[in-house]
């Protein structure tokens, strides 16, 4: 039980740096894939797709230009450095296995269709959350650090761009969230990164007051000049080392 408590506290820390000299044994990758693809889901249905990237060249492309969006001052976008991990578990929406939702013998109406789409989105979030939770927890027990990221579209890349990069043919496959797993850079604290490059919107970009992505131009790369090491949150760590109680409302009935 002590080891499980240590593992869940490890997962609470979003790892922001990595030791690229180390790798993850294929046996561990295969084990984590098994957990991810055999986890429980609503009605045991298939509602998400998974792409696991350990290839260093593909990971470098993703890290370099696909995961901007972590702001320091509000008008800049640094990288989400948790995505520099040795293994990336990319979770995507797909057509769910109950997509033909007239199997109970009813005539599908617009109301039923709209309600199905709404519930399908909710169930996707639940199912993917269960899978990511199990995988990250298991990874921590194996001695790895983890980091989650949902900033996949800030720099104008579309689902089609992601599919082309990853060689995925299914047009319904739409990446939504990534779990990074790997070995930390022991010379830094978990919340620190030496990556100080950021992206600034091109002056020609429009609707920045209303949009949270760059829709027209790729942006301009710069580096922060006031820091050598960037530090991240979250606020739930008073010393940024020891997680404090989250304060989740709890009632126990015995």
The residues with which 220 forms a beta bridge, in sequence order, are 200
In 151-174, which positions are buried (b, 16+ CB within 10 angstroms) versus exposed (e)? bbbbbbbebeebbebbebeeeebb
Domain membership of residue 94 (yes or no) is yes
| pLDDT for 254 | 95
| pLDDT for 97 | 72
Q: What is the CATH number of the domain that holds 16?
A: 3.40.109.10
Ranges 14-18, 41-45, 237-241, most confident: 14-18
Please determine, for residue 102, whether its predicted confidence score (pLDDT) is greater than 50: no
Please determine, for residue 106, whether its predicted confidence score (pLDDT) is greater than 80: no
Domain membership of residue 246 (yes or no) is no
Domain membership of residue 249 (yes or no) is no
Which position has the higher pLDDT, 43 or 148?
A: 148
The residues with which 25 forms a beta bridge, in sequence order, are none
Domain of 215? 2-231
Domain membership of residue 72 (yes or no) is yes
Question: What is the model's pTM?
Answer: 0.89
Summarised one tens digit per residue, pLDDT across range 68-77 is 999 898 889 9
* pLDDT level of residue 101 (50, 70, 90 thresholds): very low
| pLDDT for 103 | 45
| Cis before 33 (ω within 30) | no
| pLDDT for 96 | 76
Domain membership of residue 251 (yes or no) is no
Summarised one tens digit per residue, pLDDT across range 25-34 is 999 999 999 9
Please determine, for residue 117, whether its predicted confidence score (pLDDT) is greater than 90: no
Domain membership of residue 239 (yes or no) is no
| pLDDT for 213 | 83
Please determine, for residue 44, whether its predicted confidence score (pLDDT) is greater than 70: yes
What is the residue whose two structure tokens read 């948790």? 82
What is the C-alpha to C-alpha distance for residues 83 and 52, in angstroms, rounded to an integer? 13
| pLDDT for 238 | 63
The sign of the torsion formed by the CA atoms of 207, 208, 210, 213 equals positive
Alpha helix segments (H runs only) across the chain? 2-12, 26-37, 56-65, 110-141, 159-166
| pLDDT for 119 | 66
What is the residue whose two structure tokens read 């820390």? 13
Considering only CA atoms, which of 152, 170, 160, 177 is closest in space to residue 66? 152
The sign of the torsion formed by the CA atoms of 149, 154, 159, 164 equals negative
Task: Over range 120-146, report the average pLDDT.
Answer: 91
The overall average pLDDT reported for the chain is: 88
Domain membership of residue 236 (yes or no) is no
Task: Over range 163-191, report the average pLDDT.
Answer: 96
Domain membership of residue 238 (yes or no) is no
* Total number of domains constituting the chain: 1
Please determine, for residue 242, whether its predicted confidence score (pLDDT) is greater than 60: yes
């Amino acid at each position: 039980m002590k080891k499980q408590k240590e593992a869940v506290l490890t997962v609470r820390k979003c790892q922001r740096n990595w030791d690229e000299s180390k790798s993850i044994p294929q046996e561990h990758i295969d084990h984590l894939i098994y957990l991810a693809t055999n986890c429980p889901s609503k009605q045991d249905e298939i509602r998400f797709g998974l792409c696991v990237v350990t290839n260093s060249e593909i990971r470098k492309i993703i890290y370099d230009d696909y995961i901007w969006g972590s702001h320091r001052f509000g008008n800049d976008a640094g990288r989400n450095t948790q995505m520099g991990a040795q293994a990336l578990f990319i979770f995507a929406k797909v057509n769910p296995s109950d997509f033909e939702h007239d199997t109970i013998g009813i005539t599908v109406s617009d109301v039923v269709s709209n309600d199905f789409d709404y519930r399908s989105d909710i169930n996707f979030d639940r199912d993917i959350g269960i899978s990511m939770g199990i995988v990250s927890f298991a990874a921590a027990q194996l001695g790895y650090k983890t980091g989650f990221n949902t900033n996949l579209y800030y720099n104008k890349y579309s689902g089609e761009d992601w599919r082309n990069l990853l060689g995925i043919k299914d047009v319904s496959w739409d990446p939504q969230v990534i779990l990074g797993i790997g070995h930390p850079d022991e010379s830094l604290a978990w919340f620190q990164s030496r990556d100080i490059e950021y992206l600034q919107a091109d002056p020609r970009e429009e609707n920045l007051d209303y949009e949270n992505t760059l829709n027209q131009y790729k942006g301009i790369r710069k580096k922060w000049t006031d820091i050598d090491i960037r530090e991240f949150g979250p606020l739930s760590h008073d010393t940024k080392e020891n997680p404090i109680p989250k304060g989740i409302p709890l009632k126990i009935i015995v």
